[in-house]
């Protein structure tokens, strides 16, 4: 942030103004400056300034930082702890919200639309969160019912009456006589813009729409076992309707981040575990980290297991939605050869191999080969795949 503009000055409010006052001041200025309404050359620039001032002063954390340090980001920390980052989809950026608000709302189109639209956001969660289920607080912007008039669009003492022109239908029918007979055309009522109401004293904050742009936070309950691409609906948290009409819903699309440890196939989880060749030959028991926090899974590796072999453990995969069951955990073995055996260990193994008629080199030949290839031990160690932090 370079130029030091005073956000309070931009909105024309006192430094101790409360949230409502700030919002009212912002809406009044923004409504007058919105590019859809104001065609003056500097209107857009001013609109941006007002918008920036409001985005800081309407956020408690940013405002506190701005007051204390003169910078909404404070001393480099990010504010808004505990709130999840979400992506809005379906064209619901702040610009679109402003356009709906300032650009005349329902009167813009051919068909009157007074109910609010559904809105969509994407919420990213971790695999562990998907496994256990969780509650997330997401933040987004929407047109919300106006606080000052409770969504009615009416100032105190004002009245909503049925539009006298269209008698509340929001549409007018014009009849024309043509040589083919009478032709009827229906169109939006020019008096009430299709809402069917008229207001004698509209609310100043929302300009009679009954809704205002608002920074919203909402808690979303995410069920255990949720899949990527699945959508959850939060009823009534989409765009608010005009003058108390039905609000749209908030559609939360889940994006599960799998991370490095597990790969998910349906409700099954795959993970790779290292075992040494000796462990694979003789069999062993692994203590493996599960997907739920603090979950440990005991995995029996049978004697004679092969590299890349799958060992399935029922009931330790992802929860199956709508039941108490879980998928399976599939452990994929990564067999590694120990490179640090002592001369005595090697001799013991050599005698077993020789008795089996396997093509092993004698101690002398092995020594020569080692000298020839150089750092045999070092190579064996680095060939071990990086795994387990």
Annotated binding site for Zn(2+): 146, 149, 163, 166, 189, 192, 203, 206
Buried b (16+ CB within 10 A) or exposed e, 295-311: eebebebeeebeeebeb
Question: Applying CB under 5 A, which of residues 165, 201, 215, 350 lies at the interface with Zn ion?
Answer: 165
- Stretch of 120-128, 162-170, 246-254, 289-297 contacting Zn ion, by CB under 5 A: 162-170
Min dist CB 245 to Zn ion, Å, is 14
Restricting to residues 168-197, name those near Zn ion by CB under 5 A: 189, 191-192
Total residues interacting with Zn ion, rule: CB under 5 A: 12
What does the H/E/C string look like for 68-122?
HHCCCCCCCCCCCCCCECEEEECCCCHHHHHHHHHCCHHHHCCCCCCCCCCEEEE
- Binding region for Zn ion (CB under 5 A) out of 2-10, 148-156, 244-252, 333-341: 148-156
* Beta carbon nearer to Zn ion, 209 or 336: 209
Report if residue 166 touches Zn ion, rule: CB under 5 A: yes
Structure tokens at 50: 């007002």
Nearer to Zn ion, 167 or 233 (CB): 167
Q: Which residues pair with 231 in a beta bridge?
A: 253
Cβ(290)–Cβ(269) below 8 Å:
no
- 100, 114, 205, 336: which one binds Zn ion (CB under 5 A): 205
Dihedral sign computed on CA atoms, order 368, 374, 378, 380:
negative
C-alpha to C-alpha distance for 316 and 32, rounded to whole angstroms: 59
Task: By CB under 5 A, tell whether 146 contacts Zn ion.
Answer: yes
Using rule CB under 5 A, residue 240 touches Zn ion: no
Residues 245-264 that bind Zn ion (CB under 5 A): none
Considering only the stretches 120-128, 203-211, 225-233, 241-249, report the one whose residues sit in contact with Zn ion under the rule CB under 5 A.
203-211
Instruction: Rule CB under 5 A: say whether 206 interacts with Zn ion.
Output: yes
Residue 33's Cβ-count burial label (10 Å; 0-12, 13-18, 19+) is buried
Residue 10 or 203 having the CB closest to Zn ion: 203
CB of 196 to Zn ion, least distance (A): 6
Tell the smallest beta-carbon distance from residue 175 to Zn ion (Å).
Answer: 17
Nearest to 144 by CA among 51, 237, 56, 52: 237
332 touches Zn ion by CB under 5 A: no
Determine if 214 is a binding residue for Zn ion (CB under 5 A). no
Residue (67 or 204) nearer to Zn ion, CB: 204
Residue 157 Cβ vs Zn ion, minimum distance, rounded to whole Å: 13
Neighbours of 316 (CB within 10 A): 23
Buried b (16+ CB within 10 A) or exposed e, 354-387: eeeeeebeeeeeeeeeeeeeeeeeeeeeeeeeee
Distance of CA 264 to the CA centre of its chain: 20
Residues 3-32 that bind Zn ion (CB under 5 A): none
**Is residue 163 close enough to count as binding Zn ion by CB under 5 A?**
yes
Using rule CB under 5 A, residue 203 touches Zn ion? yes
- How far CA 136 is from CA of 111, 177, 218, in Å, comes to 37, 61, 8
In the list 96, 129, 141, 148, the residue contacting Zn ion (rule: CB under 5 A) is 148
Rounded to whole angstroms, how far apart are CA atoms 55 and 48? 10
Pick the binder of Zn ion from 127, 149, 269, 291 (CB under 5 A). Answer: 149
Enumerate binding residues for Zn ion (CB under 5 A): 146, 148-149, 163, 165-166, 189, 191-192, 203, 205-206
């Amino acid at each position: 942030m370079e130029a030091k503009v005073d956000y309070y000055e931009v909105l024309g409010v006192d430094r101790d103004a409360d949230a409502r006052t700030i919002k009212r001041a912002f809406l009044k200025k923004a409504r007058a400056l919105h590019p859809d309404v104001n065609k003056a050359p500097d209107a857009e620039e001013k609109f941006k300034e007002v918008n920036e001032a409001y985005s800081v002063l309407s956020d408690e954390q940013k405002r506190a930082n701005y007051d204390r340090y003169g910078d909404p980001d404070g001393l480099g920390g990010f504010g808004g702890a505990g709130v999840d980052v979400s992506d809005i989809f379906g064209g619901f950026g702040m610009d679109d919200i402003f356009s709906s608000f300032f650009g005349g709302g329902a009167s813009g189109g051919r068909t009157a639309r007074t109910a609010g639209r559904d809105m969509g956001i994407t919420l990213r969660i971790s695999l562990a969160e998907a496994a256990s289920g969780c509650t997330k607080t997401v933040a987004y912007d929407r047109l919300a019912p106006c606080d000052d008039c409770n969504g009615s669009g009416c100032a105190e003492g004002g009245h909503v009456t049925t539009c006298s022109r269209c008698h509340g239908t929001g549409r007018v029918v014009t009849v024309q006589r043509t040589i083919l007979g009478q032709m009827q055309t229906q169109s939006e009522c020019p008096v009430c813009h299709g809402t069917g109401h008229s207001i004698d004293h509209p609310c100043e904050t929302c300009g009679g729409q009954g809704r205002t742009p608002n920074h919203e936070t909402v808690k979303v309950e995410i069920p255990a076992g949720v899949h990527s691409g699945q959508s959850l609906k939060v009823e009534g948290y989409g765009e608010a309707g005009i003058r108390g009409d039905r609000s749209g819903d908030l559609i939360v699309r889940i994006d599960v981040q799998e991370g490095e440890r597990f790969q998910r196939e349906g409700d099954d989880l795959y993970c790779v575990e290292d075992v040494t060749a000796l462990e694979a030959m003789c069999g062993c028991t692994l203590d493996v980290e599960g997907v739920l926090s603090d979950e440990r899974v005991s995995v029996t590796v049978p004697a004679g297991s092969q590299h890349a072999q799958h060992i399935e453990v029922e009931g330790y995969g992802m929860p199956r939605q709508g039941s108490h069951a879980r998928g399976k955990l599939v452990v994929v073995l990564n067999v590694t050869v120990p490179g640090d055996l002592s001369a005595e260990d090697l001799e013991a193994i050599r005698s077993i191999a020789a008795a089996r008629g396997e093509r092993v080199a004698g101690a002398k030949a092995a020594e020569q080969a080692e000298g020839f290839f150089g750092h045999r031990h070092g190579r064996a160690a680095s060939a071990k795949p990086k795994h387990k932090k």
